[in-house]
A and B are shown apart, each in its own frame.
Chain A
Amino acid sequence: MSAVLDSLRSAWTEASPTLPGDGARRARALEEFLAAGLPTVREEDWKYTSLKRLDNRTATLPVMPDATAGGALAERLGVQGLDGPRLVFVNGHFVPSASDAGDTRLEIGSLGAALAAGFPHDRLGSVIDLQRYRFAQLNAALFADGAVVRAPRGVVEPRPVYLLFLTLGDEDALPIVQPRIWIEAEAGAELTVIEHHTGERGDALSNVVTEAVAHDNSRITHFRVQEQAPAHIHIAGLNIRLERDARVHSHNIDFGGGLVRNDLHARLVAPGAELTLDGLYFTGGTQHVDNHTRVDHLAPQTRSTEDYRGVLDGQSRAVFNGKVLVAEDAQKIEAHQSNPNLLLNRRCEVDTKPELEIYADDVKCSHGATVGQLDTTALFYLRSRGIDADTARSLLTFAFANDVIGRIGVEPLRERLAAQVLGRLPEGESIRELT
């Protein structure tokens, strides 16, 4: 067994007495994960993303910084100006003093507290295809805490619930942080959740697992915003189930991290379900960002629209694999997917692959993936009006990314992300008003 797996076992032995929930369940999950081992590039799903750099690392349990430091960090790195409830976690541990569940009719709290109060442990994992998604087992074994956000039947909460996950890395060891998130909108309910993963310093591995269930006629808007430090390894699984007439809009934004892997798996299980997937990755340096999305249309009259876009700079690398499955008898389906990529220089690389598996005949499906540079005609047009070349390039790059950012309805978040894109572009600050 590799060093990292050994260290995971020791970490578990050390931590298990203090972990909330059903210990036997956790133990089983650990054994299953260790038996399967880390994925390798020989597996089709991991062909372009190597975890070899993990092999000889020593995974450790993250230290919990004191609450005051956590609060200060939240102020510094968090999204400001949000008016809803907020839960803050540092290295996977809940920081009550920096959190405010606010005054809402939602059920919001730390997962640890929820499990202690009787939240059924076996509900966790019920939305996940565990065979396919191994890292969920590791999370199931070792999660220290996380969040539960539930909207009871008919409750409509327009203010976003802000879940801030801060990670502090380490220079030598590899702290592993494993937040676990449960989101649920009961029939007719509406809620918005922002999952924000950010941090600083050195290395860390985060393995986030989110499950979201949208019951009949409910709406969930979900944001996953990842701005981890450059050395960070970030693995995230987002698992969604949509029931009759449910609507889910997921926004998946990756700006940070050194090695990032997202597995999004959505299942539309009843007629009328409608899913929108927006994604944006903006990479530079030697970043590697891999998005695997999978949408299963398991019932007739369901719709999905996916727009994942990438802007790549430096020597970065991106992978996109978008699978759409339409089950037999799932007629009158619409599924649209696009993955345009903008390469800002010739040293970056994208591997993009749509995968359609369609077993029904009355379906409307489309997909399109492109990898290209900025439109030289548009560049020339702007320059011919007196706009300098750098500004023109930045403007077109921003407009490309802003297609996704512009669809973000939560203003402080949208503004922050737009500002971050601009911050990475030459002359960025002067072009904000041009768009």
Chain B
Amino acid sequence: MLKISNLHATIDGKEILRGLDLEVRAGEVHAIMGPNGSGKSTLAQVLAGRDTYEVTGGSVEYLGHDLLELEPEERARKGVFLAFQYPVEIPGVNNVYMLKAALNARLKAAGDEEMDAMAFMKLVREKMKLMQMDPSFLHRAVNEGFSGGEKKRNEILQMAVLEPKLAVLDETDSGLDIDALKVVAEGVNSLRSPDRAMVLVTHYQRLLDYIEPDYVHVLSGGRIVRSGDKSLALELEARGYDWLQPEAVNA
């Protein structure tokens, strides 16, 4: 589904991703861990199409498309979803209508019929219940004044409504209390299916207790320096990152 080869990316002339390789097949869940500043969010943002990063080398293939050639909205419409590490507040833009526009843009691009307001509201209310979100969030502006945890839930609500094919979750677990973590994990698990894939960026083994990954990778110094199964996460929890290629970690 997703094949990243030798990806290089810079921001303001500083190289952050330095030859990153990663392959994700449909149905799989991958966890990416790694020290602060190693480039995890950079990878996530590059996959979603943020143009402040310049891709200076390598390729990304997604469902047969050259992903890097697509505009952010085209990627979204083809099923890529990024849950932001820091969801953005957009005053004056209604949360639920934004989501409706997003869903309809996606349906339209796929040649499907757009959803009317009634059907859409029914869908959103269902998903909000799943996310244990108060219906008052329907009427608020996108993320405006949401607490840290509420913002993360809102990201997963969006994901649940948009049903992406490839979801990249950037530290969605950070800042969540235990109950919220379970709710978010449930939301994610409910989307697991043979034709979807997920990439979870996280610092904590805790999330992986609830969402069991097929693979765990360590991103360090802009590259994947180690890959393994879920036991790698336990090992990282116990030993930290220092034992892994110190020169890359400190780069």
Q: Which residues of A contact B (CB under 8 A)?
A: 376-378, 380-389, 391-392, 395-396, 398-400, 402-403, 406, 430-431, 433-435
Contact = CB atoms under 8 A, between A and B. Distances in A.
A399 B141 CA distance: 10
B90 A381 contact: yes
A380 B50 contact: yes
Contact of B94 (A380, A391, A403, A435): A435
Nearest to B106: A386
Contact of B92 (A382, A387, A392, A398): A398
Please provide the 9 A-B residue pairs with the shortest distance between their CB atoms, ordered closest to farther.
A399-B92, A386-B76, A385-B102, A383-B72, A381-B88, A386-B105, A434-B97, A383-B73, A386-B102
A376 B88 CA distance: 11
Given A392-B73, A430-B101, 8 more contacts: A380-B48, A380-B88, A381-B90, A383-B72, A383-B76, A386-B102, A386-B162, A387-B101
B210 to A, nearest CB: 25
B52 A376 contact: yes
Contacts of B50: 380, 384
Contacts of A383: 49, 71-73, 76
A384 B72 contact: yes
B123 interface: no
The size class of the interface chain B forms with chain A is 35 or more
A interface secondary structure, majority: helix
5 contacts: A385-B162, A387-B98, A387-B105, A396-B90, A435-B92
Most buried by A among B52, B71, B84, B93: B93
B101 A389 contact: no
Nearest to B141: A399
Given A384-B49, A387-B105, A378 B90 contact: yes
B158 interface: yes
B37 interface: no
A391 B49 CA distance: 17
Given A380-B50, A382-B98, A434-B101, A387 B73 contact: yes
Contacts of A376: 52
Interface string B152-193: 000000100010000000000000000000000000000000
Interface in B37-77: 48-52, 71-73, 75-77
Contacts of B76: 383-386
A380 to B, nearest CB: 5
Contacts of A406: 92
Contacts of A399: 90-93, 141
A399 B94 CA distance: 10
B88 A400 contact: no
B92 A402 contact: yes
A218 B73 CA distance: 52
Nearest to A395: B93
A294 B72 CA distance: 46
A386 B50 CA distance: 13
Nearest to B72: A383
Contacts of B72: 380, 383-384
Given A381-B84, A435-B97, A389 B71 contact: yes
Contacts of A396: 90, 92-93
Interface string B77-90: 10001101001111
A368 to B, nearest CB: 16
Most buried by A among B75, B87, B142, B162: B142
Contacts of B84: 381, 384
A434 B94 contact: yes
Nearest to A377: B88
A385 B92 contact: no
Nearest to A432: B97
A342 B72 CA distance: 24
A395 B73 CA distance: 15
A384 B164 CA distance: 12
Interface string B131-162: 00000000001100000000000000010001
Contacts of B162: 385-386
B93 A388 contact: no
A231 B76 CA distance: 44
A307 to B, nearest CB: 13
B82 A384 contact: yes
A230 B8 CA distance: 51
A378 B75 CA distance: 17
